[in-house]
Amino acid sequence: MTFQYRVRDPLGNTHNGTIDASSAEDATQPLRRDGFQVVELEEGDGSEEGGLFARRVTKNEIIYLTSQLAIMTDTGITLSSALSGIINQEENPTLKKILTDLKDSVEGGEDFSSALARHPKLFDKTYVSLVKASEATGSLGSMLDRIANYLRKEVESRGKVRAAMAYPTVMMVLAVGVTIFLLTYILPKFTPMFKSKGTDLPKPTLIMMAISDVILGYWYIWAVVIVLLIVGFILGKRTEQGRRALDWLKINMPILGPMFRKVIISRSIRTLGTMLANGVSIVDSIKLSGEVSGNYYYEKLWEDVLDQVTGGKKICDVLAGNPLFPNVLVQMISSGEETGKLDYVLERVTSYYDQEVDNALKTATAMIEPIMISVMGVVVGGIGMALLLPIFSLSKQP
C-alpha cells in the first residue's frame, strides 16, 4: 500500500511525498532512518484526488502550469526553482500539493518524468513520454511549450464536440420533458370531461389517454426502469462488451458517426506526429496514438499497426484498405514514409484534419437542428391534436 507523508528535516524544513510500505510502521522506519521527523502519515495514493471533497484540477490549469514552466525553464531558471515559484502563487490546494510532491522528488534527484508519472490523471502517458524525451536531449523548456500547445488543441477539439452535442441534448431533454408534462398534467385534466360526454373519442386521443394512464398508474415502475437503465449504462461502459457496443454505435450512427470518426482520427494523428517530431520512438508513438483515440475499434487498429510495424511493415501498408481510415490520409502517410518526413507530414495532416473536424461539426449541427425541431413539433403537435379533436367533436354536438 501507499502512504502520504509530511516530514521535517534537521533544519526544520517540511517535505511532502509518498512511500510504498506494507504498514504505517514500515513506512515510518526508513523516513526516520534518513533523519526526518514524521509530522503526518496517512494511507492514500498521493494522487490528485486528495479525498472525496478535494478541489479538482482542470485541464486548463495543467495547460497554464505547463506554459509557466516552459517560460521559466527557457529563461534559465532551474526546474526546482520554477516549481517553487509556481507553488507560492498557486491557489488550488490540490494542485499545490501535487506540485510540492514534484518539487521534492526533483530535489531528491528523481527525473521529472518519473515524478510526473505518479500522477497519471493529471499528466497522461503522452505528457510523460514527451518530457522523458526532452530530458534525454536537454530541451525541457521548448518541449513543455510544445506540450502546452498540444494540450490546448486537444481542449479546443473536445470543446467543439461538446458544443455541437449540447444543442441536440438540450432539445431532446426539452422534448421529453414537455411530452411528460402534457401527458401527466394537461391531458388528465381533460379526461373527465371527455368521459362524461359519453361520445366516441378519436383513436389518437384514446392512445394518448392510455399512455397517460400507464405513466400515472405505474410511475414507480417507470422510475425503477429508468434507474436500472442508467445504472446498466454506467456499468456496461466498464465492460469490454459494453464499451465495444457503445464505441461501434458512436462511429456508425447517422450524421454524428462521420464527425466522431474525424475527431478520433485527428486526435490520434496529432499525437503520432507530435511524438515523432519530438524524438519519441515510433513504437511508443503508435502505442500512445491508440490509447488517446478513446475508441475500442481504433485502439485495436493501432495495436495491429504496432504489431506489423514491429515486424517490418510500413504504417501505410497496414492502414491501406481499412474502412476506419480514409484513403487520402493513408496516401499522405505513405508519402511521409517514402520521403522520411513522416513527422512533418503528420503535422500538416493534423492541420488539415482540424479543419475537417470543424466542417464536420458544422454539418452535423446544421442537420441535427431541423431534425430535432421536427421531432419535437410532431410529438407536441400530436398530443395537441389528441386534445383538440374531442373538443371539436363536442362543439359540433347540439
- Written as one string, the DSSP assignment of 125-194 is HHHHHHHHHHHHHT-HHHHHHHHHHHHHHHHHHHHHHHHHHHHHHHHHHHHHHHHHHIIIIIHHHHHHHH
Domain boundary among 118, 151, 184: 151
pLDDT at 248 over 90: yes
**One domain for residues 139 and 79:** yes
Domain count, the chain: 3
Determine the average pLDDT of the residues in 342-353.
84
pLDDT band at 57 (very low <50, low <70, confident <90, very high): confident
pLDDT band at 49 (very low <50, low <70, confident <90, very high): very low
Determine the average pLDDT of the residues in 238-254.
88
**One domain for residues 64 and 36:** no
**Residue range(s) defining the domain that contains residue 324:** 161-398
Collapse the DSSP code of 37 into the 3-class scheme (helix H, G, I; strand E, B; otherwise coil) and give the result: strand
**One domain for residues 216 and 284:** yes
User: Is the model more confident about 316 or about 394?
Assistant: 316
pLDDT at 17 over 90: no
Max mean pLDDT among 16-30, 51-65, 105-119, 380-394 falls in: 105-119
**One domain for residues 276 and 348:** yes
**Cell numbers that stand for 188 in this block:** 388528465
pLDDT band at 11 (very low <50, low <70, confident <90, very high): low
CATH number at residue 6: 3.10.20
Q: What span, in angstroms and rounded, lies between the C-alpha atoms of 390 and 383?
A: 12
pLDDT at position 192 is 79
**One domain for residues 341 and 372:** yes
pLDDT at position 8 is 72
**One domain for residues 128 and 239:** no
User: Is the model more confident about 22 or about 87?
Assistant: 87
Is residue 279 assigned to a domain? Answer: yes
CB half-sphere exposure, 238, CA atoms < 13 A: 4
Is residue 48 assigned to a domain? Answer: no
Domain boundary among 129, 151, 173: 151
CATH number at residue 286: 1.20.81.30
pLDDT at 342 over 50: yes
Q: What span, in angstroms and rounded, lies between the C-alpha atoms of 198 and 186?
A: 20
**One domain for residues 32 and 67:** no
pLDDT at position 157 is 80
CB half-sphere exposure, 256, CA atoms < 13 A: 16
pLDDT at position 301 is 92
Is residue 199 assigned to a domain? Answer: yes
The distance from CA 114 to its chain's CA centroid, rounded to whole angstroms, is: 24
pLDDT in tens, 273-318: 888 888 888 888 898 888 888 889 999 999 999 999 988 888 988 9
pLDDT at position 52 is 45
Is the separation of the CB atoms in 130 and 145 below 8 Å?
no
**One domain for residues 64 and 120:** yes
Is the separation of the CB atoms in 39 and 28 below 8 Å?
no
pTM for the predicted model, two decimal places: 0.70
**One domain for residues 174 and 136:** no
pLDDT at position 228 is 92
Determine the average pLDDT of the residues in 340-368.
83
Is residue 53 assigned to a domain? Answer: no
Strand-pair category, 37-43 with 2-8: antiparallel
Is residue 126 assigned to a domain? Answer: yes
Q: In what order do the strands lie in the sheet with 2-8?
A: 14-20, 2-8, 37-43
**One domain for residues 229 and 123:** no
Determine the average pLDDT of the residues in 78-102.
89
15 DSSP β-pair partners: 7
Is residue 393 assigned to a domain? Answer: yes
Average pLDDT, the chain: 83
**One domain for residues 230 and 82:** no
Nearest to 50 by CA among 15, 89, 94, 83: 94
Is residue 292 assigned to a domain? Answer: yes
Max mean pLDDT among 12-26, 127-141, 217-231 falls in: 217-231
Determine the average pLDDT of the residues in 216-221.
86
pLDDT band at 48 (very low <50, low <70, confident <90, very high): very low
pLDDT band at 13 (very low <50, low <70, confident <90, very high): low
Q: What span, in angstroms and rounded, lies between the C-alpha atoms of 148 and 72?
A: 14
Phi-psi region of 255 (alpha: psi -120 to 50; beta: other; left: phi over 0): left
**One domain for residues 165 and 21:** no
Domain boundary among 151, 174, 189: 151
pLDDT band at 395 (very low <50, low <70, confident <90, very high): low
Is residue 49 assigned to a domain? Answer: no
For residue 154, CA distances in Å to 76, 109, 159, 250, 358 come to: 29, 32, 8, 19, 13
In sequence order, which ranges of the chain are alpha helices (DSSP H)?
24-33, 59-74, 79-89, 93-107, 112-117, 125-137, 140-181, 187-197, 203-217, 219-237, 240-252, 256-277, 282-293, 296-310, 315-319, 327-339, 342-396
Least confident of 54-68, 247-261, 273-287, 377-391: 377-391
